[in-house]
Amino acid sequence: MTIKTDPKNSGYVVESGAIGPYNGHEEEDEKHEVAENALDSLEKRTKVSKREIEVMAALDEMKSMKSRRASVSVDSMLEALNRRKEQEEENVEEKFLIKSIKFGKRSTIDQEKNDEVLDEKKKPKKRVCGTSTAHISSVRIVAKKTAELLRELEALCHNYGTNSDEEK
């Protein structure tokens, strides 16, 4: 049996006549290192894929926001404001009409005819909105305030996208 010293590895090397010592711990350590490397690489890949998914979701969100902003135009905004203004005026007129209807007892048909004659003599100013021609001072004040606000908003929307946006 011949044994030689191995200064590099701090041990002995068998040259002939014997079998070197079997070290099973080294094999287990190698298997463990390979498994750890596989787990580390798997963890890294999952982190990278999660980041990619988050980035894609953020890009999709930005694209949808941009398309929503691009689909809204000044003309469509003004049309929506006009429709809303007309609807509010109709609602005010309907409320006035409902309040003006008396659900109590009516005295006589003659009194109704007299009321119609008086109404024709008064000739209230007609508001042109829909088919109703009802008129009362408080309704007119509310409608005027609403109309003024809507005109201001329309002017603001009309000026949207002019010189101030081009300078940016």
Q: Could you write out the three-class secondary structure of 60-121?
A: HHHHHHHHHHHHCCHHHHHHHHHHHHHHHHHHHHHHHHHHHCCCCCCCCHHHHHHHHHHHHH
- For position 45, what pLDDT does the model report? 93
**141 and 94 within one domain:** yes
Do 40 and 77 lie in one domain? The reply is no
Question: Does residue 67 sit in the same domain as residue 78?
Answer: no
List, for residues 68-90, the tens digit of each pLDDT value: 777 777 778 888 889 999 999 99
Domain assignment present for residue 41? The answer is yes
Judge if 41 and 64 occupy the same domain: yes
**In-domain check, residue 11:** no
pLDDT at 132 (0 to 100): 47
Residues 96, 139 contacting (CB under 8 angstroms): yes
* Torsions phi, psi for 4 (to 5 deg): -125, 145
How many domains are contained in the chain? 2
Q: Could you tell me if 63 and 134 lie in one domain? A: no
Distances 109 to 105, 122, 153 between C-alpha atoms, Å: 11, 20, 48
Q: Does residue 5 belong to any structural domain of this protein?
A: no
pLDDT of 7 higher than 70: yes
Q: Are residues 95 and 49 in the same domain?
A: no
114-163 pLDDT per residue, tens: 655 555 555 544 444 444 444 454 445 555 666 777 777 777 766 665 65
The SS3 assignment for 71 reads: helix
Q: Are residue 80 and residue 153 in the same domain, yes or no?
A: yes
Same-domain status, 30 and 46: yes
**Structure confidence at residue 133 (pLDDT):** 46
Q: 90 and 26, same structural domain?
A: no
Same domain? 134 vs 150: yes
Other CB atoms within a 10 A radius of the CB of residue 154 amount to 16
Q: Which domain holds residue 90?
A: 73-100+127-163
Distance CA 97, CA 139 (A): 11
pLDDT at residue number 151:
76
